[in-house]
């Protein structure tokens, strides 16, 4: 009943399967069989480490200090926007005025809503999105009445986008390009030259560049660059960042969007004002404290490196192959040859070893006859070091 009331874009969105359903079901079955504590969960990309104490304390203090909780400042408090501008300067050497920054409900909301600002519904217009990539890029495109145009991220291209390979007819119909560096789940960081190529491509074709940089502080060697450092980005780009992964604040849902283009910034600011309340003021206060602190991200980088070093030899030992992650907390592993599909490999890991992971083909699309996840599995380095060592031990047995 009422299915016929859904509009075509909503129907299309609802038709798409929820990729984690199968993973959740397998995990639940394994938990029933072995007990919850036996499963070591590399499946969900959600940090399990505590939000830093200084951030929690700042939040508690702000709740008490405010006492009365009125509607928050939707675009973000001056304090938060000034702190973000200082962080951008320190981190990337780029200058932003606080007026070029908007506080957001993390990056997800922004990714989902941005296509609606640019896609003319039902006319076959595109957002260009990475494959594999963060699902709201494509779901936001679909609900906006557009059609995602996927670019495959493959080992033979060093997991980098080949923008020149996008057919001209698709480029002409494209309004937005989503770029994600460090990239989830391939763990690739794009060079400054690659970012410049994307900026030039967008300026040449009048395409809005959405640079999702929410893993910018999770890296294993060289810190990633931001699109904000690239000449020409001031015309065409919006940059997204978030405290979800940098500061273990997924539950706080807080981040920012920055743009030097007043049309792009203003459009996002208005659609956010018109659709949601601002991020709670006490969370904005905690966010400012998080962005002002560099110690906790540095500590987390060491922790993720320890987990990576513990897991890598064990996965290699069972026949996995991969590019060592450059950033994010993901490992995008090629499955051992003896498994005919990622699903079979992940089931084996779960049933035989009590290790949960995500089959790569569930989070990738088949495009041009190629599914970049058809021989891959994703591991999120979120279990604590004891869990990772235990996983490594089980893999070696
Ligand atoms: C690439 C990417 N962008 C954005 C997000 C979501 O960010 P937030 O938690 O700030 O909404 C995620 C979360 O997993 C992500 O992987």
What is residue 33's predicted lDDT score, i.e. its pLDDT?
Answer: 83
pLDDT of residue 41: 95
- Closest residue by Cα to residue 130 from 173, 169, 161, 86: 161
Distance 35 CA to ligand 1 centre (A): 30
pLDDT tens digits for range 274-288: 999 999 999 999 999
Closest atom of ligand 1 to 134 CA is 1
Confirm or reject: Cβ of 103 under 6 Å from ligand 1: no
Q: Please determine whether the domains at 3-50+296-396 and 54-293 fall in the same fold group of CATH.
A: no
3-class SS at 39?
coil
DSSP secondary structure letters along 242-299: EHHHHTT-GGG--EEEE-S-HHHHHHHHHHHHHHSPPPPHHHHHHHHHHHT--HHHHH
CA of 60 to the centre of ligand 1 (A): 25
Q: Which CATH architecture has domain 54-293?
A: 3-Layer(aba) Sandwich (3.40)
Enumerate the domain spans of the chain: 3-50+296-396, 54-293
Pocket test for ligand 1, best of 129, 135, 179, 184 (most atoms within 8 A of CB): 184
* Spatial CB neighbours of 62, under 8 Å, sequence gap ≥ 6: 281, 282, 285, 286
pLDDT tens profile 103-136:
999 999 999 999 999 999 999 999 999 999 999 9
- 111 Cα nearest atom in ligand 1: 4
In contact, 118 and 208? CB cutoff 8 Å:
yes
Q: Is 108 in the pocket of ligand 1 (CB under 6 A)?
A: yes
Is the minimum distance from the CB of 130 to ligand 1 under 6 angstroms? no
Sequence-separated (6 or more) residues with CB below 8 Å from residue 281: 62, 66, 69, 72, 73, 77
Task: Please provide the DSSP assignment of 118-145 as one string.
Answer: H--TTS--EEEEEES--THHHHHHHHTT
What residues contact 263, with CB distance under 8 A and at least 6 apart?
Answer: none
Q: In what order do the strands lie in the sheet with 376-380?
A: 330-334, 376-380, 358-359
Ligand 1 neighbourhood includes 361 CB (under 6 angstroms): no
Report pLDDT for 21. 80
Please write the tens of the pLDDT for every residue from 251-310. 999 999 999 999 999 999 999 999 999 999 999 999 999 999 999 999 999 999 999 999
Q: Kindly indicate whether the domain formed by 3-50+296-396 is annotated with CATH number 3.90.1150.10.
A: yes
d(CA 357, CA 1): 37
Low-confidence ranges of the chain (pLDDT < 70): none
User: Ligand 1 pocket, 113 CB below 6 A?
Assistant: no
Dihedral over alpha carbons 262, 265, 270, 276 (to 10 degrees): -160
Given a contact cutoff of 8 angstroms between Cβ atoms, the answer to whether 143 and 13 are in contact is: yes
């Amino acid at each position: 009943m009422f299915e016929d009331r859904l509009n075509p874009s909503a129907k299309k969105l609802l038709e798409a399967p929820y990729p984690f359903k199968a993973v959740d079901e397998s995990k639940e079955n394994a938990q029933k069989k072995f007990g919850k504590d036996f499963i070591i969960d590399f499946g969900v990309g959600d940090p399990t480490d505590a939000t830093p104490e200084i951030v929690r304390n700042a939040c508690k203090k702000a709740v008490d200090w405010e006492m009365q909780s009125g509607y928050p400042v939707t675009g973000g408090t001056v304090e938060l926007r000034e702190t973000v501008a200082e962080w951008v300067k320190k981190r990337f050497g780029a200058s932003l005025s606080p007026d070029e920054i908007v506080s957001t409900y993390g990056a997800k909301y922004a990714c989902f809503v941005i296509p609606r600002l640019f896609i003319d519904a039902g006319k076959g217009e595109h957002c260009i999105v990475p494959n594999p990539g963060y699902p709201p890029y494509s779901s936001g495109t679909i609900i906006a009445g557009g059609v995602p145009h996927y670019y495959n991220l493959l080992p033979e291209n060093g997991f980098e986008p080949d923008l020149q390979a996008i057919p001209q007819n698709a480029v002409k119909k494209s309004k937005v390009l989503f770029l994600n560096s460090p990239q989830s789940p391939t763990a690739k960081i794009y060079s400054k030259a690659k970012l410049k190529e994307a900026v030039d491509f967008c300026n040449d074709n009048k395409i809005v560049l959405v640079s999702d940089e929410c893993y910018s502080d999770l890296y294993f060697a060289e810190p990633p660059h931001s699109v904000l450092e690239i000449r020409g980005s001031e015309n065409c780009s919006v940059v997204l960042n978030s405290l979800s992964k940098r500061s273990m604040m997924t539950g706080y849902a807080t981040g920012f969007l920055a743009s030097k283009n007043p049309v792009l910034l203003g459009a996002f600011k208005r659609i956010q004002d018109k659709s949601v309340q601002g991020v709670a003021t006490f969370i904005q206060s905690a966010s400012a404290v998080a962005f002002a602190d560099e110690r906790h991200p540095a500590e987390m980088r060491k922790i993720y490196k320890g987990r990576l070093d513990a897991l890598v030899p064990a996965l290699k030992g069972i026949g996995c192959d991969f590019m060592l992650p450059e950033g994010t907390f993901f490992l995008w592993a090629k499955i051992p040859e003896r498994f005919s599909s990622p699903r079979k490999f992940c089931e084996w890991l779960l049933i035989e070893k009590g290790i949960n992971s995500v089959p790569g083909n569930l989070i990738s699309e088949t495009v041009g006859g190629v599914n970049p996840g058809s021989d891959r599995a994703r591991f999120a380095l979120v279990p604590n070091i004891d869990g990772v060592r235990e996983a490594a031990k089980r893999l070696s047995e």
